[in-house]
Amino acid sequence: MAHDSSGGGGAAAHEFGGDRVAGGVGGGDGEPADALDPRARRAIWVLGAAIGVFGVSFGVLATTAGLTVAQACAMSLLVFTGASQFAAVGVIGAGGSLGSAFGSALLLAARNAAYGVAMAPTMAGRSLGRRLLAAQIVIDESTAMATAQPGRVTREHAFWATGLAVFVCWNAGTAVGAAAGDAIGDPEALGLDAAFPAGFVALVLPHLRSRRGRVAAAGGALTALALVPLAPAGVPIVAAALAVVPAVLFASPPSADRRPDGAGGLA
């Protein structure tokens, strides 16, 4: 379903997927694009650059918390999910137990399981080896950029390109931060902590073109806000996944034959 419309030329143009700026939500008549559009490519590099800066600050924080340079780099290569890594070394640095470091990290990593489910249809035709490799780059950025694209092939391109760009930048940043110390300064002084929500705002827009997407988005945001005071970090975001249930049950697509599925009406 998510890609029913992609092969049929029904994909609507949108800001990361086509040149045409769609005036509304009507199905576009654009051709199914196989290659990433230049806007998407530029967006991927912007994301990568921001991630690189955070990689530096992770490297600094990790070595400050007592990890060796090799351990900091290994963590970014192998764990490769930023929020969890920050949480783990944060707990260790504050003198917390290994158990609580693991707990915090894995609660934040849990949302990647939902992203894996979301990306599964896009990767379903690929070999097991390819999917095992792809799994390492199932993170916020790659999933957001991929699912903002119209059509399966572009999604897959966006997924790999974003995942690889983030992987390279995050690891390069970590190595610089761990080995050379603070080369860039406090990311918060640069407002970079606001860069991520901003980037995801842009990437979530295509999902808001369908009624289902809007219900899921509103439900997800409200669920997460409600849970922030009640649950440990990570839980509010992963619990937002429950918002897809009312979206599917109570928000039927306005015209089922033209826009047969939920992912922003662009899927």
Partner 1 sequence: MSWWAILGLAAAAYALKAAGLVGLGPRAVEGPALRLAALLPAALLPALVVVNTFAADRRLVVDARAAGLVVAVALAWRRAPFVLVVGLAAATTALVRAAA
User: CA–CA separation, 166 vs 202, rounded Å?
Assistant: 17
27, 69, 121, 183: residue in contact with partner 1 (rule CB under 8 A) = 121
Select 168 or 227, whichever has its Cβ closest to partner 1.
227
- Residue window 43-82: x/- pattern of binding to partner 1, with contact defined by CB under 8 A: x--xx--x--------------xxx---x--xx--xxxx-
Select 42 or 258, whichever has its Cβ closest to partner 1.
42
- Shortest CB 170 distance to partner 1, Å: 13
> Is residue 94 a contact point for partner 1 (CB under 8 A)?
no
- Shortest CB 104 distance to partner 1, Å: 11
- Residue window 180-199: x/- pattern of binding to partner 1, with contact defined by CB under 8 A: --------xxxxxxxxxxxx
- Shortest CB 261 distance to partner 1, Å: 6
12, 60, 139, 158: residue in contact with partner 1 (rule CB under 8 A) = 139
Select 14 or 32, whichever has its Cβ closest to partner 1.
14
Interface with partner 1 by CB under 8 A: which range of 5-13, 26-34, 136-144, 170-178?
136-144
- Shortest CB 21 distance to partner 1, Å: 6
Specify whether the CB–CB gap between 16 and 39 falls below 8 A: yes
Q: For residues 157-176, which are near partner 1 according to CB under 8 A?
A: none
Select 125 or 181, whichever has its Cβ closest to partner 1.
125
Select 75 or 175, whichever has its Cβ closest to partner 1.
75
DSSP track, 237-265 = HHHGGGGHHHHHHH---SSTTTS-S-STT
> Is residue 263 a contact point for partner 1 (CB under 8 A)?
yes
- Shortest CB 210 distance to partner 1, Å: 8
- Shortest CB 84 distance to partner 1, Å: 6
3-class SS letters over the chain? CCCHHHHCCCCCCCCCCCCCCCCCCCCCCCCCCCCCCHHHHHHHHHHHHHHHHHHHHHHHHHHHCCCCHHHHHHHHHHCCCHHHHHHHHHHHHCCCCHHHHHHHHHHHHHHHHHHHHHHHHHHCCCCHHHHHHHHCCCCHHHHHHHHCCCCHHHHHHHHHHHHHHHHHHHHHHHHHHHHHCCCCCCCCCCCHHHHHHHHHHHHHHHHHHCHHHHHHHHHHHHHHHHHCCCCCCCHHHHHHHHHHHHHHHHCCCCCCCCCCCCCCCCC
Count interface residues toward partner 1 (CB under 8 A). 110
> Is residue 106 a contact point for partner 1 (CB under 8 A)?
yes
Interface with partner 1 by CB under 8 A: which range of 5-13, 28-36, 171-179, 205-213?
205-213
- Give the end-to-end CA distance of the chain in Å, rounded to a whole number: 8
For CA atoms 8, 9, 14, 16, the dihedral sign is positive
